[in-house]
């Protein structure tokens, strides 16, 4: 397995060379500002005490409080958390929101735990990191296998420890607990704004544009729904059980079918494919919306789409990136394409800090403005340096962080 932190640093190196990055800034950005490693003891339902290892990486807060999710997963590692916190820094800076990069995780299989055990784990984690988080310091959010309910437990534990309300300490909360409108589909909506801008740049009209979406979970299903409402032809989708393709799919009927059967496989009038085959379909836009590392050196040559829009985190390996670039395939990178999620998280924080609640319409208007501006800035940077969009996003982001960082170097 490739080391995620080494991958992140190779991306930093690549951007640094292109933009001739200040050496002092480069040295600072090669490591996180702080990494917490904590032991979280939990009394299990059977009376035994189990100790879980948790992390919080605070990469850089030049632009604002650290921001990033907390994941509960058996494969969580320190290098993964550090890499993810670096990418969060890049993501926030790419879309120009006043947040830094952070990420957390606990090595645990939450599927093997009861609700009570997960609550005790969540509160226990906050007991270990509370001095280092807060709406003005570090603002966690949900990630893999963490939920709005877990965020509510964390918020209540934090407020108990500090002795006062701080609704902005955590985002991704339920709406009744200070959460934001649009949060449920923010990642997909941000991705849609990127697709619309991309189609404009590449002269694609909705009716003639075929889209394949690998992953029909929360982000992928919302993306499919919104794009088909806008007249795009979503011709293939997949979930963990397999993939299907047809002519323009009826997404509403497909959602109902999946709810009933547990999978998209077997939907009327479609042909069954594997999750690997969906990536190689002859479509205009391919949207990997599920797992990381699905486009690799092994299959990149077979990708036929004109553009790839990364709704998942890290779906394309660095080796595959080079192959896609040689083939002339435009890749809208995850740090831009799926930044709708962190942008609406930032809106939630902003509302909480100001004691406001914004309407869905207001949030969509703000989100569109941010995503469209960011897309065009990255596109212009790509044109300026004749580089791919991922490297352009890194250059733009590191430029922003670097400018702020230079002022703080003594």
What's the pLDDT tens digit per position in 322-374? 999 999 999 999 999 999 999 999 999 999 999 999 999 999 999 999 999 99
**Would you say the C-alpha torsion 95, 140, 353, 181 has a positive or negative sign?**
positive
Measured between alpha carbons, how far apart are the two ends of the chain, in Å?
Answer: 39
Give the pLDDT confidence score for residue 203 in this predicted structure.
95
Q: What span, in angstroms and rounded, lies between the C-alpha atoms of 369 and 212?
A: 26
185-328 matches 34-176 in CATH topology: yes
Give the pLDDT confidence score for residue 291 in this predicted structure.
82
Give the pLDDT confidence score for residue 272 in this predicted structure.
95
Task: Say if residues 50 and 97 touch (Cβ distance below 8 Å).
Answer: no
Task: Say if residues 166 and 308 touch (Cβ distance below 8 Å).
Answer: no
Q: What span, in angstroms and rounded, lies between the C-alpha atoms of 151 and 235?
A: 36
Domain spanning 185-328: CATH superfamily: NAD(P)-binding Rossmann-like Domain (3.40.50.720)
What are the residue ranges in the chain where pLDDT is below 50? none
In the numeric block, which tokens belong to residue 52? 């879980």
Task: Say if residues 329 and 306 touch (Cβ distance below 8 Å).
Answer: yes
Task: Give rounded-to-5 percent helix, strand, coil for the chain.
Answer: 50, 20, 30
Tell me how far CA of residue 284 lies from CA of 59, 194, 208, 210, 238, in angstroms: 36, 14, 9, 5, 17
Q: How many CA atoms lie within 13 A of 230 on its CB side?
A: 18
Task: Say if residues 170 and 139 touch (Cβ distance below 8 Å).
Answer: yes
In the numeric block, which tokens belong to residue 54? 């948790």
Q: Torsions phi, psi of 69, nearest 5? A: -75, 170
Beta strands in 269-360 (DSSP E): 271-273, 285-288, 307-309, 330-332
Known catalytic residues? 103
CATH class, domain 34-176, is: alpha beta
Q: Where are the domains of the chain?
A: 34-176, 185-328
pLDDT digits (tens, 9 = 90+) for 309-333: 999 988 998 889 999 999 999 999 9
Q: Torsions phi, psi of 262, nearest 5? A: 90, 0
Chain Cα centroid distance, residue 325: 22
């Amino acid at each position: 397995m490739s080391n995620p932190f080494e991958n992140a640093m190779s991306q930093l190196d690549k951007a640094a060379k292109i933009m001739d990055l200040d050496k002092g800034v480069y040295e600072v950005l090669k490591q996180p500002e702080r990494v917490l490693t904590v032991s979280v003891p939990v009394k299990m339902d059977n009376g035994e005490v189990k100790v879980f290892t948790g992390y919080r990486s605070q990469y850089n807060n030049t632009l604002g409080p650290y921001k990033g999710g907390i994941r509960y997963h058996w494969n969580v590692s320190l290098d993964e958390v550090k890499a993810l916190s670096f990418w969060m820094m890049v993501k926030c800076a790419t879309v120009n929101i006043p947040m830094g990069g952070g990420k957390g995780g606990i090595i645990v299989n939450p599927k093997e735990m009861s609700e009570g055990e997960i609550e005790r784990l969540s509160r226990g984690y906050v007991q270990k990191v509370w001095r280092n988080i807060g709406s003005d310091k570090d603002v966690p959010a949900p990630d893999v296998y963490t939920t709005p309910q877990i965020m509510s437990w964390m918020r209540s534990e934090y407020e108990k420890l500090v002795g006062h309300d701080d609704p902005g300490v955590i985002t991704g909360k339920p709406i009744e607990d200070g959460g934001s409108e649009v949060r449920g589909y923010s990642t997909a909506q941000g991705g849609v704004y990127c697709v619309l801008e991309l189609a404009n740049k590449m002269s694609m009209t909705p009716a003639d544009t075929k889209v394949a979406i690998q992953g029909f979970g929360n982000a992928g299903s919302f993306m499919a729904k919104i794009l088909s409402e806008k007249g795009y032809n979503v011709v293939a989708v997949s979930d963990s059980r397999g993939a299907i393709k047809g002519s323009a799919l009826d997404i509403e009927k497909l959602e109902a079918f999946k709810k009933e059967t547990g999978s998209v496989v077997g939907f009327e009038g479609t042909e069954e494919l594997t999750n690997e085959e969906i990536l190689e379909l002859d479509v205009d836009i391919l949207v990997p919306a599920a797992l990381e590392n699905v486009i690799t050196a092994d299959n990149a040559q077979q990708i036929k789409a004109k553009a790839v829009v990364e709704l998942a985190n890290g779906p394309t390996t660095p080796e595959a990136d080079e192959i896609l670039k040689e083939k002339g395939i435009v890749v809208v990178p995850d740090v831009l394409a799926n930044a709708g999620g962190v942008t609406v998280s930032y809106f939630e924080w902003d509302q909480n800090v100001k004691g406001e609640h914004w309407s869905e319409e207001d949030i969509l208007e703000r989100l569109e403005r941010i995503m469209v501006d960011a897309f065009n800035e990255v596109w212009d940077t790509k044109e300026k340096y004749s580089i791919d969009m991922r490297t352009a996003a890194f250059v733009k982001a590191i430029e922003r962080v670097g400018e702020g960082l230079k002022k703080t170097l003594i």
